[in-house]
Amino acid sequence: MKVLYDTILKATYIGRPNRFVVTLDLNGESVLAHLPNPGRMWELLFTGVTMYIVPHDKPDAKTKYRVVGIERDGVVIMLDTNYSNDVAQHLIENKCIPGWEEWRVVRREYTVKLHGTSSRFDLLLTNDKGDEFLLEVKSCTLFSKTGAMFPDAITERGRKHLLHLKELQNEGYHTGVLFLVQWDQAQWFLPDYHTDLEFARTFKEVAPSLDWKAVAVAWDETFTMPTVTHECSYPS
């Protein structure tokens, strides 16, 4: 199984000066780390929680470290959205997504133009019949004890993607969304009306037309590629 990082360090969360930087206690030293996740994460970022960081791989980076994960109730949660497409591709190619066993990834960052509007989607899939499946991948880090919601911040880009996927479905494409729920105790999934009402309304409108799934994934401290524990229900 692929391990995503060579060196992983544990640190303690102190604060969040801005959306993309956190202050941490690393072995008694106060350090700054880049947070590659713009979500609010109010349910995760509490003083004293354990965060997982790696040395920054960019020599000109403003911070020495980069956040990759956090703990909640002793459970490791992935925060590094840079690897969402890698995780999705791994799960699809290893037949881990219930109902999508026939599909395989043929291209990433695939751009489609329709009626003068261009959209770039995360993955292009195909099957043995030659069908094409345009897939958008979303990382979900907003949880209750047994539920998961998306988004954690307003996403007009995400809303437009949903509308374009619906249009492309009408043109004969197979289209969908994969929500990677980074909390393996979540049993259900809903769009978060409180955070982004327009996204939630759009999702409710287009969801019946799309091939979408929300799957709970389980991580450990090694950040080896995760397993799918189950598909979350949609209490519509």
pLDDT reported for residue 210: 96
Q: Is residue 215 part of a domain?
A: yes
Q: Does residue 179 share a domain with residue 100? A: yes
State whether 86 and 153 are in the same domain.
Answer: yes
Q: What is the pTM of this model?
A: 0.94
Is there a single domain that holds both residue 145 and residue 212? yes
Mean pLDDT per segment of 10 residues, for the chain of length 236 residues?
89 95 97 90 95 88 93 95 95 96 96 80 95 96 94 92 91 94 97 95 95 97 95 91
pLDDT score at 64: 92
Nearest-angstrom CA–CA distance, 55 and 175: 37
**Count of structural domains, the chain:** 2
Q: Are residues 87 and 177 in the same domain?
A: yes
Whether residue 2 lies inside any domain: the answer is: no
The 3 state secondary structure assigned to 59-78 is CCCCCCEEEEEEEECCEEEE
* Domain housing 62: 9-78
Q: Which of 181, 177, 162, 193 is nearest to 231 (CA)?
A: 181
Interatomic CA distance for residues 137 and 168, integer angstroms: 17
Which CATH number is 203's domain given?
Answer: 3.40.1350.60
**pLDDT attached to residue 114:** 74
pLDDT at 1: 67
Q: Clarify whether residues 90 and 66 are in a common domain.
A: no
Among residues 203, 199, 154, the alpha carbon closest in space to that of 38 is found at 154
Tell me: do 129 and 198 sit in the same domain: yes
Do 109 and 37 sit in the same domain of this protein? no
User: What is the model's pLDDT at position 62?
Assistant: 86
- Closest by CA position to 49, among listed 69, 29, 19, 27: 69
